[in-house]
A and B are shown apart, each in its own frame.
Chain A
Amino acid sequence: MDPKVTEATQLFGRFKAAIVRNDFPTSTNLLSQLKVMLTGFKSLPPLFEDTPSSVHELTLARDIYEHAVILSVEMEDQDAFERDFFQLKPYYTDVGGRIPPSPQEYPILGLNLLRLLVQNRIAEFHTELELLSSAALENPCIKHAVELEQSFMEGAYNRVLIARQTVPHDTYVYFMDLLAKTVRDEIAGCSEKAYDYLSIQDARQMLLFTSDKELSEYINEEHPEWEIKNGFVYFQKAKEVAPSKEIPSLQLINQTLSYARELERIV
């Protein structure tokens, strides 16, 4: 075997061990070395040259990037996730049957969908969705994300929260926690418009807080305009559209003059 491939494989072994030990500094360090090494292989995207060891190299590179993605989730680094995922993506979409599909493919694609959802990048979410086959959409990992998006759009937030208990993969928990925060903000936004007031107890339940103290901290921080009075939370109502008391004469004159000008031009 090519000595470079052997070297990369060995380094990859150490990288995996570092991830298992949760030794983040070492693993990021090793990952950068691995990425530099991968640039030397000609069989990888975008060149896709047919070398004798290309199958091995492709599989290795895909493995490395898959681990990199998982590592970025564990380190809770969303930017790194995005970078690594985009590097990984060609191995799923463009290899054209050179290597067998990876068992990690759907979990990672689902994870990416979830990330887009958390970051509220719905347009990209749907763009990614179009790329998936109908078989892929049936996969539990993908389906999970798709259903989440639907519940989210509908406003069935409690379904989103229940989904946290049924995550198809351990790595999903990080994003689900983030999603819970987004959901709280959404619920707060909706309640503000939908209710005149809520009892503190109901508000606490709805906004998923365990104690009244957390609730009041949250209100102070995010919605200082809400008012807590006699055990109730009062939301500030947006001003209603008032019936116009007077005729906006200046505006009307302007409009009429412009009509006259335009008509003059036509006739």
Chain B
Amino acid sequence: MVQDVEMKDQTTPPNSISSAVPLEIQQTAAVVASLKDIAALIETGAYAKEVRRIARAVRLTVALRKKLTNSVINGFLDFALGPSSEARARLAAYVAKDDEHGMEVDTATSGGQSSSKHLLPEIEIYCHLLVLIFLIDQKQFKQAKAFSSASIARLKSLNRRTVDVLASRLYFYYSHSYEVTGDLAEIRGNLLALHRIATLRHDELGQETLLNLLLRNYLHYNLYDQAEKLRSKAPRFEAHSNHQFCRYLFYLGKIRTIQLEYTDAKEALLQAARKAPVSARGFRIQCNKWAVLVRLLLGEIPERTIFMQRGMEKALRPYFELTNAVRIGDLELFRTVAEKFATTFNTDRTHNLIVRLRHNVIRTGLRNISISYSRISLVDVAKKLRLDSANPVADAENIVAKAIRDGAIDATLDHANGWMVSKETGDIYSTNEPQMAFNSRIAFCLNMHNEAVRALRFPPNTHKEKESAEKRRERQQQEQELAKHIAEEEDDDF
């Protein structure tokens, strides 16, 4: 669901070979050149065993995504893998042959520099990733499916920590290509096997990604039981990627909601919505929808600002009206809203949750009655709640009794006279209650501060040596690039 929203803004119209041929060639050459830079980055990363550089390479690639064309891919593959190597041949089947202009670029750029050198597995996997992204962007999902399976098979035979970053991206697109074609169930076994491999190799990023993909896979088919069993048994560690962590929280929230653990669910969903980058609109809408429902189920009324967030008003509209019905406690209105937006709720797969809400509507209505009247007959209660059943008064009596037991209202029933007597709300300030509430808030703030302090990161070795001017320049440049591309990466990820 989330992915569908995301993909729409990612896919570019297939690049047409326009009449402006020279410009086209220029562009192609420029893109191939930047890809070569990326390849060089991966190489250094691989030799120096610096995962960080490879992660950066992936980010840079995403920025180029919209500029990829057949000729670019072919040109780069020839350069990176060598025109006649075995690895090149494996990829060739999936990328369409070049148009004539592309060929010129190829010969011009690749020129004897690459073919003989030893091929790094990182570069090979990177090529796989590039081709896969390209296929998905071109909407050749069948091809992408076949190709991703082949890449995964190749990946299984490699065991290098520097490949992990690339591998986790590859897993993601692998699952994505199957999801788009609607065959997600097929790869479940494979994903589980990959997760096991990742665990054995201590590839935490891979584990994180695969766990999320598996959860997504299960939840796609509403297999909440299996998802929870996997989630509770999979090893947990500190999150490596913010995106993966957001997703994890979202899935966790969904599972918890279905299992009626609303407090936990609310926490997870709100955190997911807060942590998700601003550009991930589809994902945040989903989080908000679920969070609204969970809060309603908890008996809270979400603030109006939640529904007025920029770019979400329309998507959250049905949920806003639903909230309104619950807030008023009007069963009739609730029923109309539920029917009016039935299709939305069905596509969001929240229909069952909304059925659960009925009970909360009654509760709120009852609470309103109990606040307004000090004594009211059960007949009137039934009428006000608009209970439509064979015996509304008996129903009302039972419902009120249960509400009293659950602590929703403070009242007593008088069976002989058939009325409900609300208790006077005592002076809360004569008890220790306010002090306890105050204490818990202070504790929360102090705890928050302490956690913030603990979360601060200090770069290693800052106190030991002053960095040289050159090093500093390099670092600053890297930081700038990072800042620039983080936004783009987020764009891509959600």
Chain A interfacial positions (CB closer than 8 Å to B): 122-124, 126-127, 129-131, 134, 146, 150, 153-159, 162, 186-187, 189-196, 198-199, 202, 241-244, 248, 252, 255, 259, 262, 265-266
Contact = CB atoms under 8 A, between A and B. Distances in A.
Given A123-B259, A158-B391, A248 B415 contact: no
Nearest to B446: A262
Interface string B25-61: 0000000000000000000000000000000000000
B200 interface: no
Contact of A150 (B260, B358, B398, B442): B358
B157 interface: no
A78 to B, nearest CB: 19
B312 interface: no
Contacts of B225: 124, 127
B369 to A, nearest CB: 15
B359 A193 contact: no
B399 interface: yes
Interface in B247-288: 258-261
Nearest to A244: B432
Q: Which 6 pairs from chain A and chain B are nearest by CB?
A: A155-B402, A243-B430, A190-B401, A194-B401, A123-B259, A193-B405
Contacts of A146: 355
B252 to A, nearest CB: 15
Nearest to B361: A154
B412 A156 contact: no
Counting contact residues on chain B (CB < 8 A from A), the size range is: 35 or more
Contacts of A244: 430-432
Nearest to A128: B225
A150 B426 contact: no
Given A187-B401, A194-B405, 5 more contacts: A146-B355, A158-B395, A186-B402, A190-B404, A194-B400
A198 B418 CA distance: 12
A191 B362 CA distance: 19
B462 interface: no
A203 B395 CA distance: 16
A266 B356 CA distance: 46
Contacts of B389: 156, 159
B427 interface: yes
Contact of B259 (A127, A202, A243, A265): A127
12 contacts: A122-B260, A123-B259, A127-B224, A127-B225, A129-B352, A130-B222, A158-B395, A190-B402, A194-B412, A194-B413, A195-B415, A248-B432
B393 to A, nearest CB: 10
B259 A156 contact: no
Contact of B404 (A122, A159, A193, A199): A193
B46 to A, nearest CB: 41
Interface string B385-425: 00001110011001111111100000111111000000000
Contacts of A194: 400-401, 404-405, 411-413
A246 B401 CA distance: 34
B431 A266 contact: no
Contacts of A193: 401, 404-405
The SS class assigned to the B binding surface is helix
A266 B222 CA distance: 47
Interface centre among A150, A155, A189, A243 (most CB of B within 10 A): A155
A242 B400 CA distance: 25
Nearest to B416: A199
A122 B351 CA distance: 17
A199 B416 CA distance: 8
B328 interface: no
A154 B258 contact: no
A247 to B, nearest CB: 9
A130 B405 contact: no
B10 to A, nearest CB: 30
Contact of A190 (B346, B351, B359, B398): B398
B355 A187 contact: no
Contacts of B399: 154-156
A153 to B, nearest CB: 5
Contact of A154 (B222, B358, B446, B450): B358
A132 to B, nearest CB: 9
Interface in B352-399: 352, 355-356, 358-359, 362, 389-391, 394-395, 398-399
B116 interface: no
Contacts of A259: 442, 446
A154 B439 contact: no
